Structure 1
């Protein structure tokens, strides 16, 4: 799936002042992640289980 076919979004915690952010896009198989400042660079994909583990870890500091 090309990056133009994905629905990218930023976290609601992201500022509107051009701060450093990542964007994510959801697919059935994975979560895709890219740099919001340079969307021409390749994204990477993480399986849903891996993403869930990452978010759980990040939420608990």
Structure 2
């Protein structure tokens, strides 16, 4: 299955160090641009939990 990766808006102009997301139906794919072959697969609720945890510790 081919997916469309989207880079974070916080990646900057160069885009060397960025988080990318892709919609895979009932799952969300996450990867880091420095290791694009390693993907984290989570349900949408898992991504929401992760975002809330990051914001809470920022």
**TM-score normalized with structure 1 length:** 0.71
For 1:54, the equivalent position in structure 2 comes to: 50
Deviations 1:2-41 (CA, angstroms, capped at 9, x unpaired): xxx11101111111224421211012211101222343x1
Where does the alignment leave 5 or more consecutive residues of structure 1 unmatched? none
Matches within 5 A, 1:1-61: 1=1, 5-39=2-36, 41-61=37-57
- TM-score (norm. length: structure 2): 0.74
Q: CA deviation at 1:44?
A: 2.0
Deviation above 3 Å: which 4+ runs of structure 1? Answer: none
In the alignment of these two chains, the number of paired residues is 57
Q: What residue ranges of structure 2 are gaps of 5+ in the alignment?
A: none
RMSD: 1.7
